Structure formats: C-alpha cells, structure tokens
Structure 1
Amino acid sequence: MDKANTGVIGVGLMGHGIAKNLLEKGHPLTVMAHRNRAPVEDLIGRGATEAKTPREMAEAVDILHICVSGSPEVEGVIRGPDGILASGKAGLIVIDCSTSDPVSTLQLADELAAAGMILVDAPLARTPKEAEAGTLDTMVGADPETFAAIRPVLACWAANIVHLGPVGLGHKMKLINNFIAMGYGALYSEALAIARKSGLTAQQVDDVIRPGRLSNGFYETFMKYTLERDEDAHRFSIRNAAKDMRYLANLALAVGAVNPVQGAVRNAFAGMEAEGEGDRYVPMLADFIAARNGLPPVDDA
C-alpha cells in the first residue's frame, strides 16, 4: 500500500498539509473542498484530482482521510445521500483525522463495517506549521492489521504515530490531549489577569515562567500572542476549543467520570463563544478574561 490511491476531504489549515505531503511522497491524491477553494486549487496545481462528492471520492481511492470540524460534519460526509456509505466501496479504509465525539465515532465504525468498510480514528496534534512540514503527531484507533496497512500512509504526514488500540481510542485520547491544552489556556488567562490586577505585568510573569519548569510549547505560543500580539501564533479557534470541551464533557458523562476542572475549562471557552468571539484564537482568551476583570488587553495596559 506504499503508493495507495488516497483522498482528503477538508483541506483547511491541517488538511492541506496532509494532502500536500501525500502528493510529495508519491501517492495519487483526490481532494474535496470543505469551505474554500484556494487550498484545492493549490493541490490541483501540484497534481491532485478533485472530487465533487464524498461518494465520488470513495469510489476513486483506497484510503480516504476526513479532516473537518467535528462529528456533525463527519456524519454528513459518511451518511449523506452522496456520502461515503452510498459508494458501497467494500474494502475502503476511512481515516477520520477530525477531533470527533467518540460516541459518534463508534456508531459510524459499526455502520461502515456493515458495508464492508473500515473506520480508523487518527486525530491530529501540533499545528498547521507541522502539518505543512509533514511532522504532525497522530493517535490512532484501529485493529492491528489495518494499522499495519495504513502506517506507511500515516508516515507521509506524521512524525509521531501512536497506535492506542481499537477504533474510538484515538478520539478519546485526542479529547484528553485537548483538555490538557485548553486547561493551560484557561489557567494562563486567569493567572495573567490576577497578576496584572496585583500590580505585576505580563512581561514579569513571562520573565519568571519561561526559563523554569512550568514553560512548554503551548505556553510559548500562547505568550507570543500575549506579549507580541502575533495573532497567528496559535491558530486554533475558540469555537473548536469549546466544541472539543463539549465532546469531552459528553465522554465524561458516558463513562461516569467526575470532572469539575473540565467543567470550568469548558465554561471559559463557551463564554467567549457565546459573546460572538468564536472565530478568534485560543490565546485571545487572555483578553476576554482580562476584560471581565476590568483590564485592557496587555498592549494597552
């Protein structure tokens, strides 16, 4: 399967990089736009073919990646009248790279299996920069035989590939991963507000935290926005953060987990989304929390 026919539905910030790297590693590629044309045109210029519907793509490829916003979009791509299931393509492997609700993932896996298809969950970690470089992280839920078959394809766009076990575990782990990340975001935002109300500056906080054990890659990109006002420092939307925290709340409910901290993190992002700021990026939560504390953004302080 080294040169399997591949497809990508959803060639946005992350999907474009996945698709580009599949092409560069010699895989025939079919793509389909989810929102805008520019990435599709770029990939066609690199040698990709365009499909008009998920059904058309499923009929053309052996391994089909889905990289869309969440479970409602994934369900539409699979179950729609011109969806993947409608193709009847026995043997097709569908890799869901989205951050999806594991409850939905397991239902879709059963439906695809009944049609002779296989669903793999392989959500992504890291950023669009790593997507373009082909060095993403992915956490994979698949049976051992399927994982062995798709690993060379995953290796085209991921540098760190972790096989967790059967389908569903990838999306569960991704939600845990994002809970830790968004927890950092909520914590940093609140800590900065308390610090500033106490007479400290954001720069002074950074001078102490950055050289020490509490620093990490997420902290660095978060503070790049806070201190330098670089809006592209961490391009992950508040809307997606709030969606992921809702999915994790559903998972906690399903497994009977006690989750008081996760509830507080979810509410921080839900509050910003509810005020119409869902298209802003995660580090901008610091401005939102600052405003609730009667503070201006850092650069206006």
Structure 2
Amino acid sequence: MSKERIGFIGVGLMGHGMAKNIVEKGWPLTVLGHRNRAPVEDLKARGAAEAANPRDLAEKSDIVVICVTGSPQVEATINGQDGLASAGKPLLICDCSTSEPSSTLKLAAELAPRNITLIDTPLSRTPTDAEAGTLDVMVGGDPAAVDRAWPVLEAFSQRIIKTGPVGTAHTMKLLNNFLALGYAAIYAEALALGAHAGLTPEVFDSVIRGGRMDCLFYQTFFKYVLERDRDAHKFTLVNALKDTTYLASFANAAGLANPVGSAVRNSYALAVGTGHGQDYVPMLSDIVAQMNGVKLAKD
C-alpha cells in the first residue's frame, strides 16, 4: 500500500529531526522553505521536496505536520495569505506545536466544514530525541483521524499517548511544561538561597542526585549548572514565558485559581523582561542568583 504524502512546516530545533525520520522511513515528504536554509537543504538531500508557501505544500500533501512556536504561528500558517486552508482540499493537520487549547478548539471547529481535520499532537523530550526518533507524543482528536496519523507520528516517537478529544493534548502539554518549568524556577531559587549560605551547586547536587528529588529534568538542568553546557536544554526563556502565559489564560478561562502557576510565570516574565529571552531555561539559575547578589559559577 502506498504511503500518504506528508507535508512538514517548521523544520527548526525539533522539526528537523522529526522530518528527517519521516523521510528516511519512506514517507513522501514536502517541507516549507525557511530563512535558515541548512535544515531544509539537509532534508532535500535526503529526498524531501520543498514548497514555496503553505498553500503549495497543502496541494502536494495529504497529511501536514506543523511544528512552530505557538498558536499565532499555527493560525497564520493555516488561515493566512496562501495558508494551508486556501488550497481548498481535504487535509489532516497534526499540530505538534505547544499551542493554546482555546485556539486549537476554535481552529478545529472552523476547519471541519472545509473538510480539513485538525488534531493536536504536541511533543515531550528534546531535539536529541527528535533526531533519534524517540519523542513522546500526546494526541487529541477524532479517533479515526488519530488512527490515520498514528503511523506518521510513530516515525519520530517512542511513545504516543491518546488524551481524548481535540484540545486535550495541548492542555496536557501545558500541564507537562508547567511541571518542568515550575521545577526549574524552584531549582533556581534554591541554588541562590544555598549560595547565599555558602552552599555550592556541587554540594547541592551531591545531596539531591540519586535521592527522591532526582529526575531526568533535574539532571539536564544541572548539566548546565555544573558543567556550563549551554546546550544541555535548548528551550528558550521566552518560550517558557509563552507556555506559562498560555496556562494562565487557560486557568482564567476556566475560572480556576492557579497561584503557583502565576508565580512560576512571573519568574520567566522577570527573566525575559530583563533581556534574557533567548537564554535557555537552565540559565534562569544565573539570572536569579545575579538578582540576589550571589554567583553560582566558579571564577
């Protein structure tokens, strides 16, 4: 049986590895051109075609995977000038972005009468996992659409979790990121308090590592803290602020109190507001330390 034609929009840190796995596992792939030519040219060398704009990509695809920054970019990709929807043909769209659930629900409802099905398929893990094809994927949507997308998602994942109707996967992704980003904010404050008391990051780590509070996220965070590896967790602080802001919007719409979420968001708002938006999440530790007049790194 011939494989469906796949379109991919967003071949950045995560998307390049995902698209690479799709094309190398035999799917006919078309990617959208990008100002950063290196990943596009690499994928073309592996057998992918290139589209001039989203409409062109839609015309050449049956299933489209979107992996961009967030809801404004997803909306523009679908409904903007020469967007996917302008092709006027049936499509299955898998949104792997960390998007706002309310936007996802609105888009899905608007697109359905046009014979375009949108499912939310956000990701967990790192760009390294994207390259290795070992991402975790959460998926929300119509069961038949999910089943159709499943083999494509399997091309770049080790685990796929069904969350329920459309919108639920993006909600779960926000909760997942809230936990991770909440831990990061706590680690940063704890390290600053410890430094003020004369406790080095090495001493802190010797107590936590291997204990009940150890976890993979902790280890990634501390790879930067201890080894100064800037690439330990390549997720920007401005993206962290976006995700915690989406969570706040979700809580406000639901009429639920989320005081801890608000405090976590403010940690990232402060970091971004002081000019550190393009730094990565573990670097929050240095920002909080500096604001408190202490240092974590050895001279």
Report the counterpart of residue 31 of structure 1 in structure 2.
31
Given that 1:272 and 1:288 are in contact with CA atoms closer than 8 Å, whether structure 2 keeps it comes out as: yes
Tell me how far apart the structure 2 counterparts of residues 46 and 170 of structure 1 sit (CA, whole Å). 31
The TM-score normalised by the length of structure 2 is 0.98
Report the counterpart of residue 260 of structure 2 in structure 1.
261
Once the two structures are superposed, residues 247-288 of structure 1 have per-residue CA deviations (whole angstroms, 9 ceiling, x without a partner) of: 000000111111000000000011111111111000000000
3-state SS, counterpart of residue 298 of structure 1? coil
- For the pair 1:89 / 2:89, whether they are aligned, the reply is yes
Given that 2:192 and 2:296 are in contact with CA atoms closer than 8 Å, whether structure 1 keeps it comes out as: no
Tell me how far apart the structure 2 counterparts of residues 234 and 5 of structure 1 sit (CA, whole Å). 32
Shift of the alpha carbon at 1:297?
3.8
Report the counterpart of residue 216 of structure 1 in structure 2.
215
Given that 1:2 and 1:153 are in contact with CA atoms closer than 8 Å, whether structure 2 keeps it comes out as: no
Given that 2:14 and 2:126 are in contact with CA atoms closer than 8 Å, whether structure 1 keeps it comes out as: yes
Tell me how far apart the structure 1 counterparts of residues 101 and 180 of structure 2 sit (CA, whole Å). 19
What is the 5 A alignment of 1:70-81?
Answer: 70-81=70-81
3-state SS, counterpart of residue 211 of structure 1? coil
- For the pair 1:21 / 2:21, whether they are aligned, the reply is yes
Once the two structures are superposed, residues 181-210 of structure 1 have per-residue CA deviations (whole angstroms, 9 ceiling, x without a partner) of: 000100000000001111111100000000
Report the counterpart of residue 202 of structure 1 in structure 2.
201
Given that 2:33 and 2:53 are in contact with CA atoms closer than 8 Å, whether structure 1 keeps it comes out as: no
Tell me how far apart the structure 1 counterparts of residues 2 and 266 of structure 2 sit (CA, whole Å). 44
Tell me how far apart the structure 2 counterparts of residues 10 and 33 of structure 1 sit (CA, whole Å). 9
Report the counterpart of residue 153 of structure 2 in structure 1.
154
Tell me how far apart the structure 1 counterparts of residues 244 and 108 of structure 2 sit (CA, whole Å). 22
Report the counterpart of residue 177 of structure 2 in structure 1.
178
Corresponding letter in the other structure for 2:206: D
Report the counterpart of residue 8 of structure 1 in structure 2.
8
Given that 2:238 and 2:278 are in contact with CA atoms closer than 8 Å, whether structure 1 keeps it comes out as: yes
Corresponding letter in the other structure for 2:185: A
Distance change (3 Å), C-alpha of 1:140 and 1:104? same
Shift of the alpha carbon at 1:35?
4.4
- For the pair 1:166 / 2:165, whether they are aligned, the reply is yes
Once the two structures are superposed, residues 30-56 of structure 1 have per-residue CA deviations (whole angstroms, 9 ceiling, x without a partner) of: 001344111001000110000011111
3-state SS, counterpart of residue 298 of structure 2? helix
Shift of the alpha carbon at 1:168?
0.3
3-state SS, counterpart of residue 65 of structure 1? strand
Distance change (3 Å), C-alpha of 1:32 and 1:25? same
Please provide the CA RMSD for this pair.
Answer: 1.0
Structure 2 unmatched ranges of 5 or more: none
3-state SS, counterpart of residue 299 of structure 1? coil
Equivalent pairs counted in the alignment come to 299
Tell me how far apart the structure 2 counterparts of residues 217 and 2 of structure 1 sit (CA, whole Å). 39
Report the counterpart of residue 243 of structure 1 in structure 2.
242
Identity rate of aligned residues, in percent? 56
Shift of the alpha carbon at 1:299?
2.5
Corresponding letter in the other structure for 1:193: A
Tell me how far apart the structure 2 counterparts of residues 299 and 58 of structure 1 sit (CA, whole Å). 52
The TM-score normalised by the length of structure 1 is 0.97
Corresponding letter in the other structure for 1:80: G
Given that 1:227 and 1:299 are in contact with CA atoms closer than 8 Å, whether structure 2 keeps it comes out as: no
- For the pair 1:283 / 2:282, whether they are aligned, the reply is yes
Structure 1 unmatched ranges of 5 or more: none
- For the pair 1:114 / 2:133, whether they are aligned, the reply is no
3-state SS, counterpart of residue 176 of structure 2? helix
Tell me how far apart the structure 2 counterparts of residues 9 and 299 of structure 1 sit (CA, whole Å). 42
Once the two structures are superposed, residues 111-143 of structure 1 have per-residue CA deviations (whole angstroms, 9 ceiling, x without a partner) of: 211211100100010000000000100100111
Distance change (3 Å), C-alpha of 1:167 and 1:150? same
Once the two structures are superposed, residues 9-42 of structure 1 have per-residue CA deviations (whole angstroms, 9 ceiling, x without a partner) of: 0100000011000011100000013441110010
Tell me how far apart the structure 2 counterparts of residues 34 and 43 of structure 1 sit (CA, whole Å). 12
3-state SS, counterpart of residue 214 of structure 2? coil
